[in-house]
Amino acid sequence: MTSFSHLARTALLGSALFVLTTQVIAAAEEASSSLPALTQKQIKDLQARAEKGDVDACFELSGAYHVGDGVPKDDTLAFTWANKAARQGHAGAQHILGLFYNHGYGTAKDLSQSVYWLKKATEHGDASAAASLGFMFETGQGTPKDLAQAIHYYTLAAERGDGLAQSNLGRLYYQGEGVPVDYTRAFELFTLAADQGDAAAKSNLGRLYYHGNGVSVDYKRAFDLMTQATQMDEADAFFPLGLMYEEGHGTPQDYTKAKECYERAVAHEDPMAMNNLGVLYMEGKGVTKDRAKAIALFEKAAALGCEEAKENLENNKGWGLTRGRGILGMLLKVFKR
């Protein structure tokens, strides 16, 4: 059966910060939705103040237009007011403007402008802007790929308490990308990020506890962290949690729950989960034996590059099954941020 030794990233590489951007803006939208809608009187007051050059009013008005709070949702106007505030030195507006350029909200998508405004916000002390900037340097979006710069900005943001930066920096220390491998430092950073509710950090911290990297082996703690991550719909946690249920590590063995976890991971196109679910169907563990379904799963997993699935197809179409164990091979997917 397949292992889960690669760490889950806080956001998929190549995603142009879409996940990060969505999270930052979604958090603002969620906070806004929990408050009473702005009244017409408040909107008129903001408008009057903004037109007189009040940067805070410009920033607030931008947010109102972006989420449709008291006014019709209008990203063009949201961009316009954020731009006014950003050009007057408002760090929050500079960060949002960088994200608007990254996503193309209210303006043409322009990653170089995104980098420019994120740098401005970072210079003004915005930790989450520094985290976004670190990711762009890591992935080469709007700027040449530069791990040294990525680590610089991740470290800056992490020291300012940004959970996403702590999670991504922890991943780099675990993988030894741009820095020497340091499991102890990775453990410290994942712990900080997990304590702030970062789902990928919880998943990765579970992997460290499972393997004893930077901390003593603790299957129960690993299981608890993986469970928490799946409850937050962390895609990369479903496969390892399924494997722990299947092998009885940190929890009583339960093939039915293993199957459920594998199915959730398969929904996210996880080839290792496809292989392991195929093994359950071949052996009739937690499911009714179904050779045809097992072979179909092996074929799909093999097409996605799963070596164990290829072996299972070659070994008499699945008789003589290959499982991969060892749970830390798959690293955190990055900036899920």
pLDDT at 18: 37
| pLDDT of the residue at 324 | 56
**Is the domain defined by 17-140 classed in CATH 3.90.25.10?**
no
The residue assigned the tokens 């960060």 is 95
The answer to whether 242 and 300 have CB atoms below 8 angstroms apart is no
Domain boundaries, the chain: 17-140
- Is residue 255 a contact partner of residue 286, using CB atoms and an 8 Å limit? yes
d(CA 174, CA 158): 16
Structure tokens at 71: 């006014």
> Angle CA(185)–CA(190)–CA(192) in degrees, nearest 5?
100
For 55-86, what is each residue's pLDDT tens digit? 999 999 999 999 999 899 999 999 999 999 99
> Cβ neighbours of residue 41 under 8 Å, at least 6 residues apart?
none
Quote the pLDDT of residue 193: 97
Distance CA 69, CA 65 (A): 7
HEC readout, the chain = CCCCCEEEEECCCCCCCHHHHHHHHHHHHHHHHCCCCCCHHHHHHHHHHHHCCCHHHHHHHHHHHHHCCCCCCCHHHHHHHHHHHHCCCCHHHHHHHHHHHHHCCCCCCCHHHHHHHHHHHHHCCCHHHHHHHHHHHHHCCCCCCCHHHHHHHHHHHHHCCCHHHHHHHHHHHHHCCCCCCCHHHHHHHHHHHHHCCCHHHHHHHHHHHHHCCCCCCCHHHHHHHHHHHHHCCCHHHHHHHHHHHHHCCCCCCCHHHHHHHHHHHHHCCCHHHHHHHHHHHHHCCCCCCCHHHHHHHHHHHHHCCCHHHHHHHHCHHHCCCCCCCCCCCEEEEECCC
Residue 320 pLDDT = 59
Cβ neighbour number for residue 285 with a 10 Å cutoff: 15
Query: Residue 30's pLDDT is what?
Result: 54
pLDDT confidence of residue 12:
25
Cβ contact 126:95 at 8 Å: yes
**Whole-structure pTM over 0.75, yes or no?**
yes
Query: What does residue 6 show for φ and ψ, rounded to 5 degrees?
Result: -80, 135
CB of 229 closer than 8 Å to CB of 237: yes
> Tell me, what's the pLDDT at 314?
86
Scan for tokens 């722990």, then name that residue: 244
Contact residues for 39 (Cβ-Cβ < 8 A; gap 6+) = 70
Give the tens place of pLDDT for each residue, 83-96. 999 999 999 999 99
pLDDT tens sequence across 140-191: 999 999 999 999 999 999 999 999 999 999 999 999 999 999 999 999 999 9
Two tokens at 160? 């300012």
Q: Give φ, ψ of 141 to 5 degrees.
A: -105, 115
| pLDDT tens digits in sequence order for the chain, 337 residues long | 555 444 333 322 223 333 444 455 555 555 445 557 888 898 899 899 999 999 999 999 999 999 999 899 999 999 999 999 999 999 999 999 999 999 999 999 999 999 999 999 999 999 999 999 999 999 999 999 999 999 999 999 999 999 999 999 999 999 999 999 999 999 999 999 999 999 999 999 999 999 999 999 999 999 999 999 999 999 999 999 999 999 999 999 999 999 999 999 999 999 999 999 999 999 999 999 999 999 999 999 999 999 999 999 888 554 556 665 434 444 333 322 2
Residue 132 tokens, joined? 């976004």
